[in-house]
């Protein structure tokens, strides 16, 4: 796919991002994927952060006239958020985006050399998406980005959803979601080299952008790792490029037509659309998977063994000891599980409450740490088993190392005497 560059405000600026990926070079040229090797352009020298704020609100490295133009654009973008919400809300969201852009790329183990690849989507996938979009595009609803969100300029250019999850729309719902994931997974697994098994974790869209839309450059939250963007439809006056930063810190602009699919490692590849959409609409869907099994050693330059020194409680794509390691553990006190994807509530507490010892024993074989799982209220399987009076389950959980001094979010103390256990359990709830 060809790369493009320009110094005019209506063209697409291609940039260098050395600070994110620890690339020492201060300038380089933009290049496309291997397929475009015969179409390389003359070097275009830029510094970091010319198109938009990537790791800092202060842009740098451009020629003065271009730097001033893009800094003004970024400042105007942020002012739009401040005026629509307030400074505090928008600034908190923006700081979070900038910190993620700094923290995640350096903390992740990747499965591909470039981090992205453009191809035609499988015909079966295109048929599913096109049929659903054409039947429901007149039932679109304005997307709710949440207060203070700075990921898109929705205050100036609203986006709309024709959600494949909406079972109120003809053809929508879980069956369609499963079919989309099934149609996409083989191509993504092939692109990543078959290194790991992938499980679906998110399916978002179809999102329809409108005239003037901008998407801030960002990385996706984990566990959104092995991902795909499919362009379903567009009505544009000129191509609207996705700008990505490759493993060498080089900015690459990728254009799409309906039926095109961009595969990308969204947890580490900074990507966005920092130039306003010129046209009426641009409809995409976002398909995300997480590698969870069969990934025994790292690929590429790193020699870090996946899962090393983590006791299995850290996702295999996060480098132990990295900045994301600490952040992930703080945000996920239950740790990572091979058995259940993020957002899936393990049924361990339900089994404990029901007294289903055999199911608990099965889960313990899959992931022993689930016996210590605490829900959002701090309730563990042991709490549930005690409350329901299932003595055999209580004994099993204690033998499995469950903490008898663990307490819930709302603290209180009571004593449970279990006749089959030769002592009194003092549990803090």
Q: 34 and 169 share a domain?
A: yes
| Pair (241, 99) in one structural domain | yes
Write out the chain's pLDDT in tens, 429 residues. Answer: 333 333 333 333 333 333 333 333 322 222 233 333 333 333 333 445 889 999 999 998 678 888 899 999 999 999 999 999 999 999 999 999 999 999 999 999 888 888 999 999 999 999 999 999 999 999 999 999 999 999 999 999 999 999 999 999 999 999 999 999 999 999 999 998 877 889 999 999 999 999 999 999 999 999 999 999 999 999 999 999 999 988 877 788 999 999 999 999 999 999 999 999 999 999 999 999 999 876 644 434 333 333 333 446 789 899 999 999 999 999 988 788 877 666 566 787 888 888 888 878 877 776 777 777 777 777 888 888 888 888 888 888 888 877 777 766 655 433 343 444 444 444 444
Residue 262 lies in a domain: yes
In sequence order, the 6+-apart residues with CB closer than 8 A to the CB of 84 are 155
> 235 and 135 in one domain?
yes
Q: Which pLDDT score, from 0 to 100, does residue 23 have?
A: 30
pLDDT at position 284, please?
Answer: 98
Asked whether residue 91 falls in the same domain as residue 224, the answer is: yes
Question: What CATH number is given to the structural domain containing 30?
Answer: 2.60.120.620
In a domain, 338, yes or no: no
Q: Is residue 133 part of a domain?
A: yes
Given a contact cutoff of 8 angstroms between Cβ atoms, the answer to whether 172 and 206 are in contact is: no
Instruction: Write down the pLDDT at residue 125.
Output: 96
Domain identity same for 31 and 170 = yes
| Residue that is last in its domain, among 254, 277, 293 | 293
Verify that 263 and 356 share a domain, yes or no: no
Cβ–Cβ under 8 Å, residues 352 and 393: yes
| Residue 411 pLDDT | 54
Same-domain pairing of 30 and 173: yes
224 lies in some domain: yes
287 lies in the same domain as 355? no
Task: Note the pLDDT of residue 172.
Answer: 95
d(CA 25, CA 47): 10
Domain count, the chain: 2
**Domain termination site, one of 252, 270, 293:** 293
Other beta carbons less than 10 A from residue 114's beta carbon: 18
The reply to whether 214 falls in a domain is: yes
Asked if residue 308 belongs to a domain, the reply is no
Looking at the structure, tell me whether residues 225 and 288 fall in a common domain: yes
pLDDT of residue 19: 37
**Whether residues 280 and 354 fall in one domain:** no
**pLDDT at residue 80 in the model:** 98
Kindly report the CATH number assigned to the domain that includes residue 399.
Answer: 1.25.40.20
Question: Is residue 206 domain-resident?
Answer: yes
What pTM value is reported for the model?
A: 0.74
Identify the domain boundary among 293, 327, 353. Answer: 293
Task: Render 208-274 in DSSP notation, one character per residue.
Answer: EEETT--EEEE-PPTT--EEEEEEEEEEESS--PEEEE-TTSBEEEE---TTEEEEEETTTS-EEE-
Same domain, 289 and 201: yes
Q: Domain range for residue 349?
A: 345-428
User: For residue 306, is it within any domain?
Assistant: no
pLDDT of residue 48: 59
Instruction: Quote the pLDDT of residue 419.
Output: 41
Q: Do residues 212 and 272 share a domain?
A: yes
Angstrom distances, CA of residue 211 to CA of 156, 158, 236, 258, 276: 9, 9, 9, 18, 7
Half-sphere exposure in the Cβ direction for 284 (13 Å, CA): 21
Q: What's the confidence (pLDDT) of residue 298? A: 40
């Amino acid at each position: 796919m060809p790369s493009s560059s320009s110094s005019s405000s209506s063209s697409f600026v291609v940039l260098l991002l050395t600070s994110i990926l620890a690339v020492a070079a201060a300038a380089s040229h933009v290049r496309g994927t291997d397929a475009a090797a015969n179409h390389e352009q003359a070097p275009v020298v830029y510094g970091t952060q010319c198109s938009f704020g990537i790791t800092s609100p202060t842009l740098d490295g451009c020629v003065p006239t271009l730097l001033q133009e893009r800094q003004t654009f970024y400042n105007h973008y942020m002012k739009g958020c401040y005026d629509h919400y307030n400074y505090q809300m928008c600034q908190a969201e923006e700081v979070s985006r900038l910190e993620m852009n700094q923290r995640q790329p350096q903390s992740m183990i990747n499965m591909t050399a470039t981090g992205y690849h453009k191809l035609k989507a499988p015909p079966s996938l295109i048929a599913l998406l096109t049929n659903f979009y054409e039947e429901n595009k007149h039932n679109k609803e304005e997307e709710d980005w949440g207060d203070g969100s700075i990921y898109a300029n929705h205050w100036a250019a609203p986006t709309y959803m024709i959600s494949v999850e909406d079972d109120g729309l003809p053809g929508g719902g879980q069956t369609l979601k499963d079919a989309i994931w099934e149609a996409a997974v083989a191509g993504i697994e092939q692109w990543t080299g078959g290194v790991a098994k992938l499980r679906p974790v998110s399916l978002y869209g179809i999102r329809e952008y409108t005239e003037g839309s901008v998407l801030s450059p960002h990385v996706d939250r984990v566990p959104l790792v092995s991902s795909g963007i499919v362009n379903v439809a567009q009505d544009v006056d000129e191509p609207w490029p996705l700008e990505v930063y490759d493993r060498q810190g080089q900015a690459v602009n990728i254009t799409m037509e309906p039926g095109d699919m961009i595969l990308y490692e969204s947890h580490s590849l900074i990507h966005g659309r920092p130039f306003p959409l010129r046209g009426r609409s641009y409809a995409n869907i976002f398909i995300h998977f997480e590698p969870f099994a069969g990934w025994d050693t790292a690929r590429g330059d790193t020699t870090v063994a996946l899962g090393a020194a983590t006791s299995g409680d850290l996702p295999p794509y996060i480098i132990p000891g990295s900045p994301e390691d600490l952040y992930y553990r703080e945000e996920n006190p239950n740790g990572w599980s091979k058995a259940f994807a993020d957002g899936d509530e393990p049924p361990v507490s339900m089994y404990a409450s029901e007294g289903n010892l055999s199911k608990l024993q099965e889960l313990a074989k899959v992931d022993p740490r689930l016996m210590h799982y605490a829900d959002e209220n701090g309730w563990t399987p042991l709490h549930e088993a005690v409350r329901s009076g299932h003595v055999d389950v209580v004994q099993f959980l204690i033998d499995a190392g469950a903490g008898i001094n663990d307490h819930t979010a709302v603290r209180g103390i009571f004593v449970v005497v279990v006749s089959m256990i030769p002592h009194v359990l003092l549990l803090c709830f």
